[in-house]
Amino acid sequence: MKAGSNLEKILEKRLFAVTGELGPPKGNDVSVVKRKVELLKGFVDAVNVTDNQTAIVRMSSIATSSLLIQMGLEPVMQMTTRDRNRIAIQSDLFGATALGIKNMLCLTGDHHTFGNQVDAKNVHDLDSIQLIDCVRTMRDQGTLLGGEEKIEGEIKLFIGAAENPFGDPFEFRAIRLGKKVAAGVNFIQTQCIYDMNRFKEWMKMVRERGLHEKCHIMGGVTPLKSGGMARYMAKNVSGIIIPDEIIDRVVKAKKPAEEGIKICVEQIQELREIEGVHGVHIMAIEWEQMTSKITEMAGLLPRPKVE
């Protein structure tokens, strides 16, 4: 075991894992975190804590993850390279692991111009693949990046990363995953899936390279609330493909939100049948109350308890 987290144990036992997502508050109101924890607890194996998602200033992912541990919910701490150089990254990992955080997700981060601090400067001292390698070096070699200075203590982390099967050029996507596997990633959460045919084609390329045997792949799903949301995401969100038939289903439905949930459940059931997919990542940001309904309808409850 790399870190002995609940998520790692479930994936290593080849049980179908379920993770959720929690956006920290735009301030220090702990009651916001507590409310979201209560909506997610018992319905997922671990919860991603976003790191200033869309470059909007929020409570830090480290502090929020620590609160989740205190509240009895396992966090997957996200960390972006957008806001930190390698000094800050390694220092934050010291602090995170000292606070009991065992899972992390290595990300580049959304460009600062999407957020509420447009005059900020992106850092990007490391990219997401180099961040994976940095964490692996600290954990497996017990040294700082560069390999010269020994760490006082142990860095035990289950290392995750994101992958987008829908970006272009499509042929490069499995190669990029291979680079993350070579850097030391343990699990992958994908961009939200609507185009299942393209995802299956990506998984075929992943299996041809044997990557599904070297890391755990979790398919990402996001429930659509409305036809407007479906149309907006299809037109404006980079790296997402929503087929016309899915947009039409939501647009024409008498109750669009219920149809969006139904589509999400269908996607999860289809993902469970794909060789090499070891779990699902449910991204219901600011709609956390739907996670319990989705997991119940998809037959994912009760969540397993592992030792």
Q: CATH number of the domain that 97 lies in?
A: 3.20.20.220
Q: What is the pLDDT of residue 148?
A: 85
Could you tell me if 199 and 164 are in contact, meaning their C-beta atoms sit under 8 angstroms apart?
A: no
Q: Looking at the whole model, is its pTM more than 0.95?
A: yes
Do 24 and 49 touch, CB atoms closer than 8 A?
yes
Q: How far is residue 216's CA from residue 234's CA, in Å, rounded to a whole number?
A: 28
**166-224 residue pLDDT tens:** 999 999 999 999 999 999 999 999 999 999 999 999 999 999 999 999 999 999 999 99
In a domain, 24, yes or no: yes
CA distance 116 to 110: 12
CB-CB contact of 17 with 216 (8 Å): yes
- Residue 251: what pLDDT? 96
Q: How far apart are CA 192 and CA 264, in angstroms?
A: 10
Measure the CA–CA gap between 90 and 301, rounded to whole angstroms.
Answer: 37
**Residue 302 falls inside a structural domain:** no
Nearest to 283 by CA among 35, 24, 10, 50: 50
Cis peptide before 75 (omega within 30 of 0): no
> How far apart (Å, rounded) are the C-alpha atoms in residues 85 and 63?
19
Asked whether residue 1 is assigned to any structural domain, the reply reads: no
Q: Which residue has the tokens 């343990």?
A: 186
- Residue 122 belongs to some domain of the structure: yes
Give the structural domain span for 252.
6-297
**Is 28 within the bounds of a domain?**
yes
Residue holding tokens 């040294």? 143
Domain membership flag for residue 306 = no
Instruction: Provide the domain count of the chain.
Output: 1
Question: Which residues of the chain, if any, have pLDDT below 70?
Answer: none
In a domain, 304, yes or no: no
**Smallest Cα–Cα separation from 74: which of 54, 95, 104?**
104
| pLDDT value, residue 237 | 85
The token pair at 130 is: 């180099």
Inside any domain, residue 96:
yes
